[in-house]
Structure 1
Amino acid sequence: MLSTFLLLFILTTGTQVYAVNPDVSNSEEAISAGKTIFNANCRTCHRLDQKNVGPALRGVTDRHSIDWTKRFIRNSQALIASGDAEAVAIAKEFNNLAMPAHEFLTDDDLMNLLAYIEYGDKADPAAAAAPTATEGAASAGGGIPSEYLTVILGVLVLVLFLILVVLGLIISILTKYLNNQKLDAADEEFINQKFEIGKIFKSDAFLIIFTTLLVAFVVKTALDELYTVGVQQGYAPKQPIAFSHQLHAGQYEIPCQYCHTGVEIGKSANIPSANICMNCHAHIQNVGGKEGISTEIQKIYNAVDNNQPIEWVRIHNLPDLSYFNHAQHVAVGGIECQTCHGPIQEMEVVYQYSALTMGWCIDCHRTTNVNAQGNEYYDKLVQLHSGSKQALKVKDIGGLECAKCHY
């Protein structure tokens, strides 16, 4: 993703009208290409018109020059190290939060991205908050979205109501017309009989309508629940030790790879052992100025002294029938942890940020550009794809093949 620090130098102004730099194209082609780049790299943390993990993006070309913006996105740390006043001020304002280099983005990529940021969807499709488990499964391609079923049910109720209104008007008009005709006593008594609401509830028509609505409601509820099976989005179990990623990964900026040692070399990211914790906590024995060893840190000492592993509760679970390799995504693909795990550096208690459904994975493979620049792993694939005008995406290198994940 175009990491979190890109947000940090772009200040929001609500619905303010910006003077967009005229060099930014407003063509449909550029905006569409920019949207693809945005969805593939920025969507997890960025929004166009409202704050999410960081400020809104729209209006960046009014606040900074295009050349400066490109340099900052490509290598913010180099710009800061050069002493650039704007970059240094931004870094200082946001506690020197580091932004990885994105030198794989070409000038055309960056201009297309700016086109989407400035002229893209006014109602930003990524502006919604993280979906619930039900919504996440549906929106990620797991089935019919729940809101569609709600709309269908609502339309059905509205149509039935309109039918009843029309029937009532027809009956009223016919009654008035027949009362003006010469009728025998039996017909006149039938036409002018009193309305009894009890008869409606006993009528066949009411029973059919009521049964239809009840069945539709039950079916919708059942489908909603079925779409949540196996989806643990938002799952945040209590852990044996109150470990704060906000403190360690956020405030102290400890790299994820320091604790999760397998993320670049193997299938699993690995849960850190107590020995890794002790690399620091053998020397850091108090928290927040309290004297002595805190209760939570004492649990680490107890695990080491008793030669017992800390029984962390697994949060991100994939079905046994699915294969996922961290090294393939992180070391080869260059995917950042936050792409799947969300703003982990801001989580006091870690929770499952993404849906992690098959539809969610496939959608990512369809939209993500392959980071092939300077990566010899992709050289032959890039050559084979050279005849295409479209950027090389994961789907083009087998990302949609069943056997890739279901071996």
Structure 2
Amino acid sequence: MKEQLKKVKSAKQLTFTYFSIVAFAIITIHVSLIESTLEDFEHINANNRLRHAKEVAAVVFEDSKRMDIGTSPFTHAYIGKEALPSHVNVPNNLPYDKAVELHDADNESTEYFIMRSPISIRGKEEVVYFLYYDDLYELSEEQVFNNEKKQLLITVFLLFLSFFVVSRISERLTHPLSKLASELDQRKSSDLTPITLPSGIVSRELVQLVYSFNLYAERIQELLERERAFNRYASHELRTPLMVMKGAVSLLGQSNDPAFIEKQRQRLLQSSNDMNDFVTALLSLTREESNHTLAPREITREELESTIASHDALIKGKDVKWHIELSEPTYIKAPETTFKILLGNLIKNAFACTEEGSVTVTVSNSKIEVIDTGIGLGSKPRGVEGFGLGLLIANDICRKYHWTLSHSDNEYGGCTATISLLDDEKPNAQTK
């Protein structure tokens, strides 16, 4: 991985490289534009002068018997190719009425323009050649180009200055990112603490990156907590069915009565089913999954009675009675097994905290209450394992299904555990 990183350029190097490419492209385009502009202007000037010379030559040749004349200080006209100076090499494909640039064979730096045109002279059509050479224009062109060279040098200097400025700006902009990369590289894999923003110029993208890293680390932390919670919850919830199974196995060796054996078999079967349901529910609790796809289901009296009766052993030998008040149909979006774990933990705590009196489960379409006449919130029941863990499980289940679990002391002793349900779980909301 480190060998690959050595081959990859840093953000500062990439910025400098791309800026250099763009800068040299601008210089090249600038020089090309200057040169092409001067060339185009020279051709336009030559064409205009030679066309003007054609008009003058048509009049002068009509009144003169000369074969060549000067139509202006820089332009000459010649009747026929033979009248041209010897140093002029006329191209074979020279077009009519268009100026063509030529170079002197003896001096490549000397440029002149030639054009041929058919002109009627004294009733006879002749081919007239026009030559245009302006040494002052050539000198001016050279001076303009030299002046542009000075501007180009200034431009190059400004570009190098820009390189330096961009390099400094790039260093300041990328320093926080480099610092963040270094911090992440030095972190241990087990370190999931939030990342702080590096000092320096902080951009929106850097803030978003740090926020995303922290959010990702938080999700990993939550997943780890879920895994740890599963181990704690499994040991807590599976203790009862395991004890039942252990007791049933012990009793099977004490009698050969078919009815007795069948009873123990049923106990084993029920306990194994409970264990399977508990594991499924706890796995769903520790997984990330959406609750929107769950269909609402009605809480039945049989379900409540079965859940409460499974914990009757906790009030054995106590003067404690339990009651169910189910005033109206109530719907929830949670599997039966998960709801059994939730309500079962609240029932276990209520039974453990109540030495005498009653435990009442009240169910309505907005809340579920477990009301006891026990010791209240200020005390913890003695000799009861998993008291706090049971409440943690209940809280996690409520959080997963977006319910609210709260506890309050009763006016005449004991406490009330309240599960506040969501509005869209009410029967009226389901019909909309």
Q: Give the structure-2-normalised TM-score.
A: 0.21
Between structure 1 and structure 2, the one with the greater Rg is 2
Structure showing greater relative contact order (alpha-carbon pairs closer than 8 Å, 6 or more residues apart): 1
